A and B are shown apart, each in its own frame.
Chain A
């Protein structure tokens, strides 16, 4: 490219990038505008004065339950289910990729089918089942199923484990290592990047999850942030736009922070497996 060509290129692509991110910038700007200004000068990204009070009024939440509770709930659900999903998926991935046992191909096929299965199909019967377990209005339906391996993660880790030379396993076996020893001492340290990628995606999916909390939780004290944001749209607090924008911005913050810290793993994860971010 010529110098002027490069200049035009960066102007055009830069403008496109600005256009793409404008809605997000608008959300952040609106969270810092006084309530009467948000829609009066909606096109503007610059508040006449910085109104941090939105963050205070938004944080107060609904009927005595503050966003401290909602964030705490989100973190409890997200962290526990992520730990469960990653550890259980690693175990299963190793089992399916590196041990030969009766029915192995069958279970691998089951996993692939589960991966393709639309969630809509099992949402009703799972609800009925968890209702019978007495799990409604608890975090259990949102956490426990993740301790049984997530097909997407199992698949991704299996791809990773297959790149580890079998000679390593053989050498460890000769040194007296059991299959369990091989898993913990050789495989786990080598698949750390895959573990990180899976943890990040699990974090995103659980943090954004809306339909499951919507179905299973009915007491606002148990609400995660995603569900709590919906309360801004319900009735009484309909006028607190600033507070709503402020809490929406805060709810995106963990996701964006994780993205900037772990960018490399995310881009690799999407490129190699097509995981949807």
Chain B
């Protein structure tokens, strides 16, 4: 008996070995060294030089660009995540109302989110919102001639990125659609009999029953929005312009690390990012007790 149990310990470690090794080498060691680098000046050529908290002080005291980058990133996250989720829920409810051709529509709405993270789509977006692109072409067709590039104009550049993000609501929509299908139809029928109109049915039945899924979506989408990189890089050709209006945090971090080779400073930036994402995730979960409704399985 004892021998058998020991065997299982070994077997467990044999199966789990890839993850354990990978975790130690490719995750834990890098995280610890990142923490160390964040307190140093390190340009890859010479050994890291200890600075104490200087990198962090510089971030909050001296670096005006990072303040801009925070502003741009927060605007992007707070605009794109709620709008994307609202769109996703809206379209999911529309599709849930029909019984036919849902598969076809679902594919059409999902396609953008399937390919949306690619360089090809970022390039496409850049051309659509360019000075002679699709958007301006349509505008002149309906009598509003416009020749400025939406990408090159500092007041609209960031909003083209927000639009790109909203356009990719498909994966959230599919999750919502699965959730809506799980709400028993008799709930709505019973409410109708009691005289509840469509609006109150939505707020009293749909939203509470979907709230765990909304929470889940909100958390994942917020984290990934904070980390958006590729479209900002492509649309601004790696610069974050015009006037740093598309300098999302990940792009600025990339530039610090791989254009300026300030590895210490970039590591400090990464830790602040981790802290911010952690705080937001915690806030979302903390607030969830007030608005997320879990059906008790017991009754």
The residue that B229 contacts in the complex, of A43, A117, A211, with Cβ under 8 A, is A211
B108–A91 touching, CB < 8 Å = no
Q: How far is the CB of A123 from chain B (nearest CB, A)?
A: 7
Beta-carbon nearest neighbor of B251 in chain A? A211
Q: Say whether B174 contacts A148, CB under 8 Å.
A: no
| A154 nearest CB across to chain B (Å) | 7
B137 contacts which chain A residues (CB < 8 A)? Answer: 39, 41-43
Alpha-carbon distance between A39 and B106 when the two chains are bound, in angstroms? 31
CA distance A107 to B17 in the complex (A): 10
Residues A7-35 near B (CB distance < 8 A)? 9-10, 13-14, 16-18, 20-21, 23-24, 26-27, 30
Give the interface segment out of A47-55, A190-198, A225-233.
A225-233
CB of A274 within 8 A of CB of B217, answer yes
A-B contact count (CB 8 A): 271
B109 touches A20 (CB 8 A): yes
Complex Cα distance A106/B141, Å? 62
Interface size class of B (residues with CB under 8 A): 35 or more
Contact indicator B175/A274 (Cβ below 8 Å):
yes
B75 an interface residue at 8 Å Cβ cutoff?
no
Q: Is B294 on the interface with A (CB-CB < 8 A)?
A: no
Stretch at the interface among B60-68, B119-127, B191-199: B119-127
Interface size on A, residues (CB 8 A): 93
Nearest chain B residue, comparing its CB with the CB of A147: B18
Q: A20-B108, A129-B33 are in contact. Are A252 and B220 (CB under 8 A)?
A: no
What CA separation (Å) do A145 and B281 show in the bound complex?
27
Distance A270 CA – B254 CA, assembled complex (angstroms):
30
Q: Which residues of A contact B277 (CB under 8 A)?
A: 118
Of the stretches B50-58, B201-209, B267-275, the one at the interface is B267-275
Residue in contact with B171 in the complex, picked from A111, A114, A277, CB distance below 8 Å: A277
Interface assignment of A60: CB less than 8 Å from any CB of chain B:
no
CB of B19 within 8 A of CB of A121, answer no
A196-240 interface with B by 8 A CB criterion: 204, 207-208, 210-211, 214-215, 226-227, 229-230, 232-234
> Does B72 have its Cβ within 8 Å of any Cβ on chain A?
no
**Contacts known (A124-B266, A256-B115); A277 close to B170, Cβ less than 8 A:** yes
Q: A95-B16, A101-B9, A252-B118 are in contact. Are A42 and B133 (CB under 8 A)?
A: yes
* Chain B residue nearest to A146 in the complex (CB): B22
**Does A244 belong to the interface (CB within 8 Å)?**
yes
Contact B226 A118 (CB under 8 A): yes
**A6 partner residues in chain B, CB cutoff 8 A:** 98
Q: Which residue of A lies closest to B258 (CB)?
A: A215
By the criterion CB–CB under 8 Å, are B114 and A20 in contact? no
Interface residues in chain A, defined as those with a beta carbon under 8 Å from any beta carbon in chain B: 1, 6, 9-10, 13-14, 16-18, 20-21, 23-24, 26-27, 30, 39, 41-43, 88, 91-92, 94-96, 99-102, 104, 107, 110-111, 114, 116-129, 131, 145, 147-149, 151, 154, 178-180, 183, 204, 207-208, 210-211, 214-215, 226-227, 229-230, 232-234, 241, 244-245, 248-249, 251-252, 255-256, 259, 263, 267, 270-272, 274-277
List 21 A-B residue pairs with CB atoms under 8 Å apart, sorted by A's residue number. Answer: A10-B101, A16-B94, A17-B109, A26-B134, A95-B11, A107-B19, A111-B23, A122-B30, A124-B37, A125-B37, A129-B29, A151-B19, A204-B114, A207-B118, A208-B118, A215-B254, A229-B123, A232-B123, A251-B119, A259-B114, A274-B220
Query: Besides A16-B94, A147-B18, 9 other CB < 8 A contacts?
Result: A24-B124, A101-B10, A104-B12, A125-B29, A208-B119, A233-B237, A252-B120, A256-B115, A271-B178
**Nearest 7 A/B pairs, CB to CB:** A148-B22, A95-B15, A101-B12, A42-B137, A271-B178, A125-B30, A248-B120
